[in-house]
Structures are given as C-alpha cells and as structure tokens.
Structure 1
Amino acid sequence: GFHLVHHLDGIWQSLRAHFDPLPPIVPLVVYNGQTRWSLPRRFSDGLATPLAAGLALDFPIHVFDLGLGDEVQLSAMPWLRGALRLLRHGVRNPAAEEARSLLVGILSDLQGAPDSYLEAVRNYVLDRWAELTPQALSEAVRAAIPEREALVVSKAVRQWLDEGRADGIASSLLRLLERRFGPLPEEVRKRAASASIPQLEHWLDRSINASSLSEVFDTAEH
C-alpha cells in the first residue's frame, strides 16, 4: 500500500503543472508471484490501527493476479496477452524444452510487433530464463515468427558470446547462415563446430553484411 501511495504522489507531482484539478488515478497491481496474492486489499488494512471511515487516506488495492485462470484469457489483445504471459512465467526458470514451448505461444501473440517490442521480450527472457539454450530459442522463433529470426536470435547469440556461453552458439550461427545462404557445405559446419569463441564472434559480425559464405569465413586481411 505504501509503495502505491509513493507512486501516486509521484504521478500527481508530475501532472501538477498541466492539470487543475488533478485527474483521478485508479491503481492496479499486476502480480506475478509464485504464490497467490495474500497481502491487504485495502490501504487501511496495512496499518496497525483501523481507521474510522472518512478520517484518513484509504483506498482499495486492485490486484491482477497473473497466476490465476487460463493464461490465453489474460487479454483479447495479442500483444498485451503475450507480454502478460511472459510476466506470468518470468518468476520461474523453466527447463529448455518447456521454455521453448512457452516461447512459441508467447511469440505467436507478438506477430507483427515492432522490433523494439521483440527486443524487450528477448532481453527479458535472456535475463530470467537461465536454462534457455540457443537451440531452444532458435526453434521457438522459427516456429512462431520465422521472418524475425535474424533480429531475435542473432542479438541473443551475441549476448551469449559476451557471457562466454559457447554451448550451442555454433549451431545457432549455422542456422542463421543457412537461412541467408541456403544449404551449407560440410566443411563450413566442421569449422564452426571446432571454432573458438573469438572466432565465432568474428564470423557472427561478418555474417550480418556478408553477401556470400566466402566473405564470412575469409581470413584474409582487408
């Protein structure tokens, strides 16, 4: 309750120069905890002494508990539903296969979303789901929004590279190359499988603008 009062005060302070009188605000708590909401539903319920009606500040605390009900029914708006579903599972760390399945559903809701929206979703998942592998991410994106795979996966792979997570990165790089240039020679697959992290990072950088496989793997100085 006290956090809500603080936020309400901050919003009203920012609006004072533009509105007189100030507009009403109906606070809504979007809750995604692992257990059901058990805190007070009125501000006065969090105080040590009950207040007489009308003598002090009091208001109901409206709670939207994301853990209740069918997640597909969270919203009729696909983009909002996808975001709420992501928040619902954000407090857990699902195994790779479950994460892939969840992502397929969430990303399906986000078809047509702007790049910035998908990037925010990707960053949230990478931050929260430690068990998510490059392969699971690639498979989920390809199943739900294949036309956006380069946007989502290439930047995710770069983050894994920055974190030193080499597991699965080579296979993700090969998938991106295959989507750009078609079936890959066995020699290319062998080089990627045995490459070091710096090599993978270098090839990933080159693959963004390269017009052919030879440009990606060319070791000559330019």
Structure 2
Amino acid sequence: MALRMMVYGGLLYQDLIKRGEVLADGRLPPVLPIVLYNGSQRWSAVTDVFDLIPPVPGLVEQFKPRLKYLLIDENAWTDSELASLKNLVAAVFRIEHPASPDAIVGLLSLLHEWLAERPDLRRMFALWIRATLMRKAEYRIVLPQIDDLQELNVMLAERLEEWAQAYKAEGKAEGKAEGKAEGKAEGKAEGEALALQKLLKRRFGAVSAEVLAKISAASLEQIDAWLDQVLDARSLDDIFGPTTA
C-alpha cells in the first residue's frame, strides 16, 4: 500500500501541474495521504515506502524514497473508545460495525443532535445510513427513500430489532428444515449445524474447511451458542477465534 500511495500522490501532483492548480510561487500544495481500513484483520503493512527497501550501505541510504501515509484502522478502536471521541468519523465507524441494532438507533439520535445546524449533512448521513443498512445481510431491510435523520431514526426504532430477530429466526428455521430433509437420522444436532452454516454463508460468504470441521465436531450446546453470536459478530474470528484459513 505504501508504494501504491506514492504512485497515487505522484499522479495527483502531475494532474495538478497539468491543470495549473499549483501555489502562487509555482510550488505544489501539501497533500495528506490517508488509508481508511475497515477489514476484519488488523492492518500489518508498513506505512512508509522507506521501510519497503532494505538498508543500503554508504551514500545511497540517504536517497531512499520516503512517503508515509496516515492509517486509520477501524479495528484499532473499541466501541467504548469511539463513543468517547464524540465526532462524526467515530460515529461512521460505529454505524458500520454496530454492537447491536439498538446501538444504531442511539447513534442516529446523536447525529441528529450534533448536526442540528447542518441540514445538508443530516441529509447526507440519512442517505448513507439507509444504503448501509440495506446492504447488511443480517437485517434484510427494505426502506423507503428517506433523507431525514429524525424520520429514519423513528422508523428504525420501531422495526430494526424486530427485523434482526426475524432474520435470525428465519435462518435457524430454514437450516433446521433443510437438515431434517437431508437426513432425519442424524437428529437435531445436524439440523442446527446446517442452520449455522447457512447463516455464516449469508453473513460472511464462503466458509473455510477449518470452520466447517469445527462445526461438524461441536456439541449441540456449542452450536447453539455460535448461532446466538452470528448476528452481532463482525467476522468469523469473532465466533470461532483465529483460524488458519
């Protein structure tokens, strides 16, 4: 990523020069490279292209290229830390990874309060939050076109938890029914395992062989515990712990 950011920065400066958008004295304006990361794993790449090149003896070392970017890793912050910041970026992070459906409603109330004097930002956040929720498989929400935070907040307060629990119940029911149809002899545990696999696939996509093996070897009580975690988990690791796949 550090190398890519250096390339992006160079291309940006070339474009600014081409369009004549430079400082009055001909120098280039400052640019702050930012990488916003919201993946499930912690960021491990270097943040300075200088660190991609091994030490060089002699004069060459001081001429190695340098370009450092600002990394904003959402997973580096806990929900309580984000809540204490009380700013819009922190609110965005918390909406993308809500601790619970109720947390989203609370965040909408805060945004409505913070943006009381900014109707343009209230509309922008309402549209973005609506689109974000409709993309989340665990809610399966179809919302009317809403561009008002307060209206969105009222609607979600009435229905969000209901939708979330209904989806969870539906996933369990479908999985149990499918498991029963495929082999009644294996009993309830197989139906629960199939329900869990179905929910995991909907929530996170393809499930690794390692996770499938854990499910296959688990007790009915353990599978029930995992089923209860699926709705609020951010990744498979939150449910099963670190995996090799």
Q: TM-score range by the shorter chain?
A: 0.3 to 0.5
The TM-score with structure 1 as length reference comes to 0.47
The TM-score with structure 2 as length reference comes to 0.43
| Higher helix proportion (structure 1 or 2) | 2
